[in-house]
Structure 1
């Protein structure tokens, strides 16, 4: 059996346990024990922990690009992947090799079995979190950017014991089950990522009550709240291909990320850079600007100019609002065609309320995951809420053909969105995301 076959076999075994343990605040203790058994890799890493509801991917990617552009060896863990699960773990922008994945997996499994555990002791996300930390340690990365999943006390990444920086992106409602929860409860859960000695950086424009709770947690555990100079960022131009910005004294900064909301995520990254510079990390302004200008974030407001297709993994009402706002700013000549696939556990009502007024055509498709809502169910919900024309795609190839037929001989933009798993499904069916 070849290396690729071994990797696929292991990943298939890991995927059997898709349980996420919502609300189980004891899970991170299990992860902490496993980390101790394999030599506490997280204790040997300079970790920048990115936590929040929206914007983790862009913030993590910009941070990784900024540090790698300055010449540092960077590990980056993010989820979910779009094309290959190995994309979740990257070293200097390159996905973990199958051989390295297997080595880390076997090292962790031996430790588990020695203490009475087995493969299904851990969920898929827990496995990937542990493999990432083990891999980064054994490959001696100088900084590790780790994006939280569910975040806070219930998240596997909460097992990280001593992060250097905890950076909070926007905290908001995400899962439909949270609609009746107060935002303070969600914040208190995510605040569990704050550990003693860490520097805490907060999203600019964070809700007041959220900021207050994060500050209280910071003081309670002996962390430090970043209260330094805030970057001044002005949007000069916004197009489907990206933003042109004035940042402090730097003029005409090119950022190949679309959407004005990215300015706030960039502000977080610049504050991370300032904290690191104060601690002796050399990050020249010119290197930073060049690194940001050349970065790519697959599946996050990713525009394919050749085919006039926008791919965006927006999966909750806040992210969908950002998407729709960006489309308005581009002054499109015609309403976009949406290829839409949603997750069962997301707040589909609010998502549809954002999308449906701004389109007259939706193609419903099922995301590439068992947790994806069926195309039939999504179409029924759309019909109940609007007069928008909706067609059902039985498979990704059908969605592609429908989208191309609908916008034939027109300049209509096709927007593929609703989940990263929707993008994965569409890619599997023939649409090619930019390399």
Structure 2
């Protein structure tokens, strides 16, 4: 009998057509699985997963049961559907899968085509959360927002993280166009908290919110203090007349804004809101008005605790002493990664070694230039990953060779570049060089790449390192 995982992995072979939101609403009705409790909808380019992790941690510290739907996964597809920070168990995963498959078989008789991989998992999350009954559900949008299947939800709060150029083939060629897609999650009367990192994107988001009558807060306009405890940031900001103070568990400056964004979202929940036009957790525009009571458990101490205890794998994660994994995979993400990695290397006074891989639809040439210019690695290792969209080692080597030429023109140093046909070989060699050079190893370029590296950690014994 074909397992749920085998079936899911085959879906991209025969189901590529995205469905409309009306069709998604119809499927959820067939499944009889509107999301329970209060829904928080999160979109953006970079930082979505981190904000979801911070919010989940804050709400758990506040005493709430929390469900999260996020993407992508690193090593196990169950990572996408979590309750209180843990992937659902195998039995719950299988039950959810069977419910969705039976619902689709009924829909097929009415002429509906098969859900895409992402849609199918979203419906599985809906089925699972109906069974698990979390008090809060956090939904991370896919690459877009406006036309994303997650946009069928009727949230109590929407959150938009930093917006920058990525997925241009699908979302548009300018920051303004991409921001318009992300802002598609904004709902009439529903509070919005966003990261106005880019002035052009922020203007689009504000305009959309004001048009929808959605009260908004831009975290970049809020008071925020940042200090440093070695490589770890300490943040402090006002919270309902008191002050949150937390040492973030990620050695990366970019997490400052993600943490602050989650904190301000928590403040909106703690304050509560009444709006006659929305019902938290329901399929869009259904039913009468409903009160959103204050989340009384969300206190300044719970927010501080939740920020300090948040966990998010593959985001400037020190997986072994002096070895960091980061899922940065676009131009702005790589820039933020370089700042964090260079800071760590500078504080420790050690050379940085880089292990990199990427998928073919990313601006990998630009990323290579940024990495050489800002990180200045002692040596670069590039690897072909098993993902079908993965670039060959030769293409990656060529990208870095061209980046080297540009770096030399501006007086930069020329690191060695070594290419490998597999991630495991590249990781093994990079670890040896890191040890020999008494340095630090930073791995970045793709979340799929980080997933393969995680598998390497499971398979290899690293006593030799």
Q: When the two structures are superposed, what TM-score results if normalisation uses the length of structure 2?
A: 0.83
User: Paired residue for 2:144?
Assistant: 151
Indicate yes or no: 2:231 matched with 1:215: no
State the number of aligned residues: 421
Spell out the pairing of 1:100-179 with structure 2 (5 A cutoff): 100-116=92-108, 121-160=114-153, 162-175=154-167, 177=169
Inter-partner Cα distance in structure 2 for 1:179 and 1:366 = 27
Inter-partner Cα distance in structure 2 for 1:155 and 1:145 = 15
- Give the deviation of 1:222 after TM superposition: 4.0
Q: What SS is found at the alignment partner of 2:451?
A: helix
Inter-partner Cα distance in structure 2 for 1:196 and 1:17 = 36
Consecutive unaligned residues of structure 2, counting only runs of 5 or more, are: 273-293, 405-413, 461-465
Inter-partner Cα distance in structure 1 for 2:106 and 2:235 = 54
User: Paired residue for 2:234?
Assistant: 244
Question: CA 1:182–1:338 in structure 2 vs 1: closer, same or farther (change >3 Å)?
Answer: same
Inter-partner Cα distance in structure 2 for 1:229 and 1:79 = 26
User: Paired residue for 2:53?
Assistant: 61
Inter-partner Cα distance in structure 2 for 1:356 and 1:84 = 32
Indicate yes or no: 2:367 matched with 1:376: no
Inter-partner Cα distance in structure 1 for 2:171 and 2:21 = 25
Inter-partner Cα distance in structure 2 for 1:337 and 1:97 = 37
- Give the deviation of 1:345 after TM superposition: 0.7
Question: CA 1:235–1:134 in structure 2 vs 1: closer, same or farther (change >3 Å)?
Answer: same
Inter-partner Cα distance in structure 1 for 2:227 and 2:206 = 33
Q: Deviations over 1:270-297 (max 9, x none)?
A: 2111111111102122222222222211
User: Paired residue for 1:395?
Assistant: 422
Inter-partner Cα distance in structure 2 for 1:224 and 1:134 = 31
Which of the numbers 305, 315, 324 marks the counterpart of 1:290? 305
- Give the deviation of 1:178 after TM superposition: 7.2
Question: 1:78, 1:146 within 8 Å by CA — same for their partners in 2?
Answer: yes
Indicate yes or no: 2:226 matched with 1:235: yes
Question: 2:15, 2:115 within 8 Å by CA — same for their partners in 1?
Answer: no
Question: 2:41, 2:155 within 8 Å by CA — same for their partners in 1?
Answer: yes
Inter-partner Cα distance in structure 2 for 1:115 and 1:329 = 53
Consecutive aligned runs of 4 or more in structure 1 exceeding 6 Å deviation: 117-120, 227-230
Inter-partner Cα distance in structure 1 for 2:171 and 2:216 = 29
User: Paired residue for 2:334?
Assistant: 320
Q: Deviations over 1:155-193 (max 9, x none)?
A: 221222x11111010111013647981222111112111
Spell out the pairing of 1:5-16 with structure 2 (5 A cutoff): 6-14=3-11, 16=13
Q: Deviations over 1:20-67 (max 9, x none)?
A: x6xx6x53333222112222513x441111110011111110000000
Which of the numbers 436, 457, 461 marks the counterpart of 1:409? 436
Spell out the pairing of 1:260-299 with structure 2 (5 A cutoff): 260-279=253-272, 280-282=294-296, 283-299=298-314
User: Paired residue for 1:259?
Assistant: 252
Consecutive unaligned residues of structure 1, counting only runs of 5 or more, are: none
Question: CA 1:94–1:228 in structure 2 vs 1: closer, same or farther (change >3 Å)?
Answer: closer
Q: Report the more deviating stretch, 143-152 or 119-128.
A: 119-128
Q: Report the more deviating stretch, 274-283 or 311-320.
A: 274-283
Q: What SS is found at the alignment partner of 1:152?
A: coil
- Give the deviation of 1:368 after TM superposition: 4.0
- Give the deviation of 1:266 after TM superposition: 1.7
User: Paired residue for 2:352?
Assistant: 336
Q: Report the more deviating stretch, 284-293 or 217-226.
A: 217-226
Q: When the two structures are superposed, what TM-score results if normalisation uses the length of structure 1?
A: 0.89
Q: What SS is found at the alignment partner of 1:166?
A: strand
Q: Deviations over 1:110-166 (max 9, x none)?
A: 222112269971111111111112211221111111111112223221222x11111
- Give the deviation of 1:236 after TM superposition: 1.9
- Give the deviation of 1:76 after TM superposition: 1.0
- Give the deviation of 1:198 after TM superposition: 1.7
Question: 2:143, 2:167 within 8 Å by CA — same for their partners in 1?
Answer: no
Indicate yes or no: 2:321 matched with 1:307: yes
Question: CA 1:229–1:413 in structure 2 vs 1: closer, same or farther (change >3 Å)?
Answer: closer
Question: 1:15, 1:124 within 8 Å by CA — same for their partners in 2?
Answer: yes
